[in-house]
Amino acid sequence: MQPKTIVIAIGGNSLIEDPKHITVESQYSAAKKTARHIIALAADGHRIIIAHGNGPQVGFILRRSEFSRKILHTVPLDSCVADTQGAIGYNLQMAIYNEAAKLGLRVSAATVVTQVEVDSQDPSFLNPTKPIGTFMEKDDAEYHRDSDGWHIMEDAGRGYRRVVPSPLPVSIIEIETIKTLADQGVMVIAAGGGGIPVVREANGQLKGTEAVIDKDFAAALLAKQLHADLFVISTAVEKVCINYGKPDEMQLSRLTCSEAEAYSRDGQFAPGSMLPKITAMIDYVSATGNEGIITDPANLYKALQNEAGTHLVP
């Protein structure tokens, strides 16, 4: 196969396999498994750029901040994203190095702490709906609302949660740095957690903002701006399904963009799960005319051989 430039977006299951294994050590063990599948692609000469999720890890930082709020300052959300980019990137870099060494390969990996510009006029800033962090009692939620300016909402009788804007990504600030490293054969880890959300002020200066960018949308933008030959979203299932969980559930091996849009309109994909992945993939495939793949980590290699996964085509 002709070597390709591939952007791979890995989800939370690539770092936290289940709720009982959430320690840093457990996350590294999970990262090793994912790295093993990615190294197989690099061994074939493909240039790999990795984006990753960070939802649970940001939640852990926010929870620690909550417990220590009487003795330490709170951590702004943009800084939480930056912190997790570095920590998760480190785990992935080490896993990639070690797994490559087992095969006698020398693979250089580097993490780029990535800012992603969003539009300050994005409608989500007026209507924050993205829940983050842990559940709170009403008193704690009201304290943060009054003291920290948080938007809060009651969540189906389970308690209160903070909600933040989730604006669409506009541009990747460090795109030239990422491209330069990839061109030199470095496996780049970038736009982690959707990127650090920044807005551009009237004077052209960048400023961090309290928001969360969808990881799959940011990864699709990264793939477009890098002119990647292939965009892959690695998730918990081998193939996209319709009628998921029902007796007539059906796995899909191939989807056109128009078919994917029709299934989306019919409510076949859950808004907090598969829908953003499908939407991001449609965006990439429609813009580039290239193929996209949705599959799980274990089937990454087979998917590139057209033996697994769901392939989205124009």
Buried/exposed code over 82-114 (b: 16+ C-beta within 10 A; e: otherwise): bbbbebbbebbbebbbebbeeeeeebebbbbbb
The predicted structure's pLDDT at residue 107: 95
pLDDT at 30 over 80: yes
Residue 131: pLDDT band with limits 50, 70, 90: confident
Please check whether the domain covering 5-127+165-313 is classified as CATH 3.40.190.10. Answer: no
Q: How confident is the model at residue 12 (pLDDT cuts 50, 70, 90)?
A: low
Please give the angle made by the CA atoms of 164, 50 and 240, to the nearest 5 degrees.
75
Residues with active-site annotation: 12-13, 130, 215, 277
Please report, for the chain, the start and end positions of each structural domain, with discontinuous segments joined by +.
5-127+165-313
pTM of the model: 0.93
Residue 110: its pLDDT value, please? 98
Chain mean pLDDT for the chain: 93
Kindly state the average pLDDT of the residues 41-50: 96
Looking at residue 222, what is its pLDDT? Answer: 98
